[in-house]
A and B are shown apart, each in its own frame.
Chain A
Amino acid sequence: MSESISHANTDDFEELESLLLDSVNPEFSEADCDQLNSLLRDSSEARSFASELLFDDALLTDSLSTEAAEASFKEETTSPRQSSHAWMRIAAIVTLCLIPLAWMMNREDSPENIETTVATVQGTNRVTGLKHGQTFQAGERVDIERGRAVLRFASGAKFAIEAPAAFTITGSNGVNFDFGRGTVRVPGKIKGFTLVTPTETVVDLGTAFGIEVAKSGTTSVAVFEGEVELQGASEHQRIYAGQSTQSAQSRSPAQSVPHIIDAFLNTWETSFGVQSVSGDLRVARPGERLAPGLAVDSDSLLLFPERENVTLPEGYTLNSTQTGLHEPPFRKQIEHLEESLTVDSYLLQYNPGPDGISPGSERVFTAELRFDRPVVGLILGADRLKASDAKLAMPGAKLDSINRRGINVDDQVELSEDRRTLHIRMSIQDSVDQIRVLVDANA
């Protein structure tokens, strides 16, 4: 082990330490990043200091996480005599680190798991043969002849599918996909969602991708975000965001094909729980979604699905949790959550870019947006939008480059009584308009 940096020297690295601490902050800028790299590039002492700090932080994270897990085990232990500190410690570490891993590697569910629910229908759109909330156990087959649906797996993976399609659910993290077209997204930390088709085995490595299986078995994959591994041939192939492949024969390497994703956009929308959009609105395409601050479209409002399964604490401040009509000003329209809520967040934005609308001119955009789960909160004012970015915006969203957020005096947002439909009317002037919509993640 290299020598620890002497305590006196640590004062010299205050800026470095501060930058390292800030580096996980969504507001960490390119300039900060440049400065951090410059400090490290120029000095071996700085690198040694940073390395020790980061290493200790990891030990600290593990110790504190293990402690929290131990406390939770303690609460659940009925007889203190039956548990020892050492046992709790191992149990905590195994729970934190290895159970998810073991579960991920075990793609064939054990017999005792066969009886449990491994997937649930989160949403449907004009589909036949599936109902919202319907549950599935491992081994069940799904055939759909019409419409679209999204299944939420126990692993956290979401599989949106468009008819005609047929597949068998193999467990809490995979399907055997006979034919059809769909989008897979795995928003959480668990990876390894596996689709086995007649010609390919596609394994998620933290990603979003489109997949189409023809009735002949030919499998096309288009990776939108992250990466996937193709395991159908003896040499596994990794493919990355922006790449597409086609596998026509089993055990043969997949071939690269042009990255054309239009065929997957319907299931891409469905995978985010967007049941329908109409009027002057579209859902951000893969790629656009990750940087709403940079996305420009003078012809449409854009809906950016943001973070999913975010728990907002009791007391969290929003502009509204109510149904009905919402109009500015919002500065004094403040509500606090009465209990903690887990939400999926969506940013609705109009940004025509610098040349989109000339100052003083005005256009009116109207749209209807329906979700498959209830809207539980709205963030409508510029100050609350900014305050909520840290928790709800995608990392790297670049929203700090946008001034004058929120909506204008003449704009209206109306939430239907069933909480699933938003009617939006935006009178677009010369600035960017934004609102944030929060949907119940657990409904």
Chain B
Amino acid sequence: MNSSTSENAPDAAFVSALTSLQSRLRGYCQAALGHGEEAAEALQRTNIILWTKSSEWEPERDFSRWAISIARYEVLGVVRDRQRVNRRFVFDSDVAEQMIDEASERVTPSSARQEALECCLAKVSQKNRDLLSAYFVRGETFQEIATSTGRGLSALKVAMMRLRRSLRSCIESQTGKEASA
């Protein structure tokens, strides 16, 4: 019953392609399903399917297009499963379907936006990086961050919104610069 690992293990080219697409796959799932556990579940399901189908992929084939088509199927699967057990998540199913279409527009084979983001992130102060890490990496709520840092709840939220706005603006200017170069 168990899958044999040595015979089916993906090769280095596949692992490299999957690794470099992780951020955009996560972005696709999150843009379609929101910040909650549904996006993480869709990403995990996508990774599992890709891994099990690794022998079907040939390096000449566009990996990102293939992977994103599988991600779309898995995202739809998560929405369908939530509907089946009548469990609401952050998006209603009709909105989720609209968001899936938006996400498909958002994700591209290019990593330019990610590179621009990293460039912009390098300009962010340590205090603000700590705020971003607490929220996005450690998954702390604003209440928890407020408790641990002694900052006011609404001030934190305002700071986060400003920070994201300036990052967005920086990314747009970076990607615009590259496009015109």
Contact = CB atoms under 8 A, between A and B. Distances in A.
A106 B5 contact: yes
Contacts of B114: 59, 62-63
Given A2-B102, A60-B121, A24 B23 contact: no
B85 interface: yes
Interface of B: 1-5, 15, 18-20, 22-24, 26-31, 34-36, 39-41, 44, 47-48, 51-52, 81, 84-85, 88, 90-92, 94-95, 98-99, 102-103, 105-108, 110, 113-114, 117-118, 121, 129, 132-133, 136-137, 139, 141-144, 147-148, 157, 160-161, 164-165, 167-169, 171-172
A390 B148 CA distance: 13
B99 A97 contact: no
A4 interface: yes
A57 interface: yes
A278 interface: no
B143 A62 contact: no
Given A33-B90, A206-B41, A240-B85, A94 B19 contact: yes
Contacts of A51: 31, 99, 102-103, 105-106
Contact of B48 (A23, A48, A105): A105
Contacts of B19: 90, 93-94, 97-98
A56 B105 contact: no
B105 A60 contact: no
Contacts of A110: 5
Interface stretch (A34-42, A320-328, A330-338, A415-423): A34-42
Given A55-B31, A101-B48, A21 B157 contact: yes
Contacts of B142: 21-22, 25
A7 to B, nearest CB: 6
Chain A facing B: main interface SS: helix
Contacts of A257: none
A242 interface: yes
A98 B133 contact: no
5 contacts: A4-B172, A25-B142, A53-B168, A55-B107, A391-B144
A242 B85 contact: yes
Contacts of A106: 5
A2 B85 CA distance: 34
Contact of A105 (B3, B31, B103): B3
B168 A56 contact: yes
B52 A58 contact: no
B119 to A, nearest CB: 10
A190 B141 CA distance: 22
Contacts of A313: 148
Interface string A48-80: 101111111111111111001000000000000
